[in-house]
Structure 1
Amino acid sequence: MNNVLNEEDKKGGRPYPIWLIRCFQSVLDDCDLNDMELQGYRYTWERGHGKDQWIEVKLDRALASSSFLQVFIEAKLSNLEVSTSDHSPLLLKPVSIPMMTTGRRFKFENAWLRDPMCGEIVKDVWSSNSGKTLKEKIVICSELLMKWGKEITGSFRTRINECKRIMKSVKAKRDAKFDQIISRGVQEVD
């Protein structure tokens, strides 16, 4: 954004124009964006390190909506500080509160995206549950996708184990012609 939210975001050089700070704050308020607390060193950009004109500014930040912060209550933003750039890299660790209390966790399988029915299930849940909260829609959607996925794709673990068993049996049965080629190659090297 190349902007600061308050005068404390800048150290060294001329003061930042107060009208720019106020405008930036106003935009963030209008957009319901919150500046996440930065752990570690306060400043993320510098110029003139070790010189009289050394300037440090908090230019890099993570802005989050109120709804994001409600889901990721324990999210942490850290300044990694070490960089070859004049900007410090930031690390955002989103930690969400559990959305489902069932014993089984929902896992979305990327293979489902190849089946048009997956998209239809999601669209149907969103359109037919307009009075529900986002959390409720996600729970309903995940339950339907989990049931559908099990019926359509079967147990991936079972299929993977079967493939591993076949590969292992094939690996153990080397072809006699293959053995001849390998032994000729070894003889040529000797």
Structure 2
Amino acid sequence: MLIASDKSGPQPHPHSLLEGFKITIEECGLMELDLTGGDFTLEKSKGTINWVRECLDRAFANAHWWRKFPLCKLSVSHTIKSDHDPILLEPVNVEFSRKQFRFKFENTWLHEPNFKEEVSIHWREIPSLHLLPKLLSVTTFMARWGRIFFHKFRDKVKKQKTTLDSLVSRGDE
């Protein structure tokens, strides 16, 4: 636990223990990974006066690890078999060679009706507080969006060429 709101129920954790844990994390140069899928990983005695919910499980990483896996996902998976929910870490390695991943922004995308709105929505939906993962995620989103746009654009060009070819071969005025 890092903060008092990480626990709901009787007998809060002593403030001195929470502060000691925070100090240790800072001294080790670690940053916490954002947990999605719920605020708590332990729940017991539900429906009683002793109902306790806590975020016991966390993941931390140093700067080197963050540079290698800035798009990682940490999520809680809920189970009915236990009072303790497991967490799943999905690291996404972004150490690409230049040939593997080249992102090029196309100004023509700005003229598409939904582009700015879709990028804004994607930016706001990313839970990470760190700028690099957000930028990488939005860049990946725009690259994917651009590939879809390109295919649609290519299909439009083919259709127009077919129409043009049929008009050129006509004999009337």
Band the TM-score falls in, shorter-chain normalisation: 0.5 to 0.7
Note the residue ranges of structure 2 that are not aligned, 5 or more in a row. 101-173
1:147-166 to 2 correspondence within 5 Å?
Answer: none
Deviations 1:46-80 (A, max 9, x none): 22122121000000111111211111111010111
Partner of 1:42: 39
1:64-79 to 2 correspondence within 5 Å?
Answer: 64-79=61-76
Partner of 1:33: 30
Distance in 2, matches of 1:34 and 1:83, equals 30
Deviations 1:143-162 (A, max 9, x none): xxxxxxxxxxxxxxxxxxxx
Distance 1:83 1:66, change over 3 A: farther
* Count, aligned residues: 100
Q: Is the 8 A contact 1:44 1:57 kept in 2?
A: yes
Aligned AA (1:47): K
Q: TM (normalized to structure 2)? A: 0.54
Rg comparison, structure with higher value? 1
The DSSP-based 3-state class of the residue aligned with 1:92 is strand
Deviation at 1:35, TM superposition (A): 1.6
Deviation at 1:99, TM superposition (A): 3.3
Q: Is the 8 A contact 1:83 1:89 kept in 2?
A: no
Deviation at 1:89, TM superposition (A): 0.8
- 1:55 pairs with 2:44: no
Distance in 2, matches of 1:58 and 1:31, equals 21
Partner of 1:158: none
Note the residue ranges of structure 1 that are not aligned, 5 or more in a row. 104-190
Q: Is the 8 A contact 1:47 1:54 kept in 2?
A: yes
Aligned AA (2:5): E
Q: Is the 8 A contact 1:73 1:95 kept in 2?
A: yes
Deviation at 1:81, TM superposition (A): 1.5
1:71-110 to 2 correspondence within 5 Å?
Answer: 71-102=68-99
Higher RCO (C-alpha 8 Å, min separation 6): 2
Partner of 1:15: 12
1:125-140 to 2 correspondence within 5 Å?
Answer: none
Distance in 1, matches of 2:74 and 2:3, equals 19
The alignment's C-alpha RMSD in Å is 1.4
Distance 1:72 1:83, change over 3 A: farther
Distance in 2, matches of 1:66 and 1:89, equals 25
- 1:5 pairs with 2:2: yes
Ranges of 4+ aligned residues in structure 1 off by more than 3 Å: none
Partner of 2:139: none
Distance in 2, matches of 1:33 and 1:87, equals 25
Deviation at 1:100, TM superposition (A): 2.1
The DSSP-based 3-state class of the residue aligned with 2:2 is coil
Deviation at 1:101, TM superposition (A): 2.5
